[in-house]
Amino acid sequence: MNNNLLELISITQSFTKDDHSTQKILDNVTLKLKPNEIVAILGKSGSGKSTLLRIIAGFVKPVKGKVILNKKPAFCDRCDISMIFQTFALFPWLTVFENVELGLKSFNISEYERRKRALEAIDMIGLDGFESAYPKELSGGMKQRVGFARALVLRPEILLMDEAFSALDVLTANTLKNDFLDLWSSGKTQMQSVVLVTHSIEEAVTMADRVLILSSNPGRIVSELAITLPRLRDVQSMEFRTMVDKIYALMVSAYEKPPLPISNKQKAIVGNIDQKIHLSVNELIGSIEALSASPYKGSANLSELSKIFHINNMGEILHIVGALQILNFANVTSESIKLNKHGKFFFTSSLEDRKKMLAQHLFDNIPLASYICEILHQRLDHKAPLSRFKTQLEDTLSSEDATITLKSIIGLGRYAEIFSYDDNKKIFSLDNPTA
């Protein structure tokens, strides 16, 4: 018997870019949401996680596919669904009570009932006594509690959470997560299911009954994993850490793209300049130094990287790991990362030797870096505009990916002194054109 609360059937979403070409965000996504479950959606930036939530909420209509809510086709007006955003988005001129009550004014509800429900939601989320306070008087955690109350006052069957805890400090976020899970277990609300988007694997394992992993460009569900650990979950337990490790391995396998063989790279400089990379100089140096420190000494499990790098965003961690592998400073498996001889030598080298080493690794492993320098050497004035390379990258990459890749190459290339870049004029040039 079909008891699904919500069904997404073959959802595809795309947007038109400035050049009138189409960028596919989601491709053939099918999802079934059952009553009494929390589902977490994990994926890197650009995987379409937030777009998927907005389709569920009715904010965005998919170009293909169906949304079925309570066994009926769902249209834009979905009063059974509420959403909590990463940014608090409170109206600064309204009090806590007025912010919470505001959503009810769209419905045919008496003033008495609106007041009653708003006060109940405020009390339920732990803000009793702050009804007359304005947002400027509240901490970040309290502002997000207002966001929760504003969503719950509508008495939704399905609650959507778009990185609802990511703007908060760790302690505040953990407190709010625990309070929400207590509320979920108490049965005091009409919530039947929750869908949350997060970059944090630990958050997903802490909160969810089921985890879905999205690939990117376009977003597809590539893995699904049930979390059967009893609540409240002990983040230090072996079972919890094992589940985190398993999801890390699935994430790496979902995004891992082996680099071109070294022997082919220089033969294909122009043809492969669209290789994506997302890494700053600080991330390069900081990650190698952190991995080289005791007790890791160059090797660590992927699940430890959040602690080692002091980064909670799983997408950022995967970007760093992928870039270290592409630059040939580390070897990566589905479970671990290990600095190779180049990464270890980089750690022990002087500043000048690090610059020279990075320059060589950029030329050997990043076709775009070689291509930019080749163009600069060919031109009489040894200059080229950023737009020239961005336009070329956008033939195969999204505008966002092209921008991020160029920003990474600019930072790494300037540090390695293979070219100069004027950020005001957006122009590449050679420091030493005769070199």
Residue 1 included in any domain: no
| 246 plus 267 within the same structural domain | no
Query: Is 193 in contact with 113 (CB distance < 8 Å)?
Result: no
Residue 412 has what DSSP assignment?
Answer: H
Kindly state whether residue 256 falls inside one of the protein's structural domains. no
- The pLDDT of residue 268: 41
Distance CA 103, CA 151 (A): 8
CA distance 23 to 222: 20
Better-scored residue on pLDDT, 266 or 286: 286
Residues 157 and 189 in one domain: yes
Backbone angles phi, psi at 106, to 5 degrees: -80, -10
Pairing assessment for the beta strands 6-16 and 158-162 based on DSSP bridges: unpaired
Among 231, 251, 271, which residue terminates a domain?
251
Same domain, 64 and 84: yes
The 10s digit of each residue's pLDDT in 202-224 is: 999 999 999 999 988 788 999 99
Residues 236 and 276 in one domain: no
Q: Which residue has the higher pLDDT, 420 or 274?
A: 420
| Judgement on whether residues 238 and 352 belong to the same structural domain of the protein | no
Token pair, residue 202, equals 């630990």
**243 and 273 inside one domain:** no
- Number of domains comprising the chain: 2
The per-residue pLDDT for range 329-371, each reduced to its tens digit, is 999 988 889 999 999 999 999 999 999 999 999 999 999 999 9
Asked if 134 and 81 touch (Cβ cutoff 8 Å), the reply is no
Does residue 392 belong to any structural domain of this protein?
yes
Domain with residue 149: its CATH number is 3.40.50.300
| Domain extent for 212 | 6-251
pLDDT score for 236: 85
**How large is the average pLDDT for residues 79-100?**
90
Q: What is the mean pLDDT of residues 162-174?
A: 85
Domain boundary among 192, 221, 251: 251
> Is 85 found in the same domain as 49?
yes
Q: Shortest CA distance to 47 belongs to which of 168, 222, 257? A: 222
Strands 158-162 and 22-33: unpaired
Rounded distance, CA 224 to CA 44, Å?
16
Within this chain, do residues 88 and 28 fall inside the same structural domain, yes or no? yes
Query: Would you say residue 65 lies in a domain?
Result: yes
Q: At what angle do helices 314-326 and 281-292 cross, to 10 degrees?
A: 90
On whether the CB atoms of residues 81 and 57 are closer than 8 A, the answer is: yes
Domain-embedded: residue 435: no
Q: Which of 140, 35, 52 is nearest to 148 (CA)?
A: 140
Q: Do 108 and 163 lie in a common domain?
A: yes
Residue 115's pLDDT is what?
93
Residues 90 and 224 in one domain: yes
Please answer whether residues 91 and 102 qualify as being in contact, where contact means their C-beta atoms are separated by less than 8 angstroms. yes
Given a cut of 50, is residue 434 above it in pLDDT? no
C-alpha triplet 257, 53, 75: angle, nearest 5°: 130
- State the Cα–Cα distance between residues 93 and 216, nearest whole angstrom: 39
pLDDT band for position 261 (cuts 50, 70, 90):
very low
Mean pLDDT of the chain: 87
In a domain, 258, yes or no: no
| 158 and 209 housed in the same domain | yes
At 182 the three-state DSSP class reads: helix
CA distance 67 to 73: 6
Residue 108 located in a structural domain: yes
Which domain-ending residue is among 219, 251, 283?
A: 251
Say how many residues make up the chain. 435
| Helix residue ranges, H only, 44-169 | 49-57, 96-101, 111-124, 140-152
> Do 384 and 410 share a structural domain?
yes
Assigned domain for 22 exists:
yes
Distances (CA, A) of 70 to 35, 76, 90: 10, 15, 31
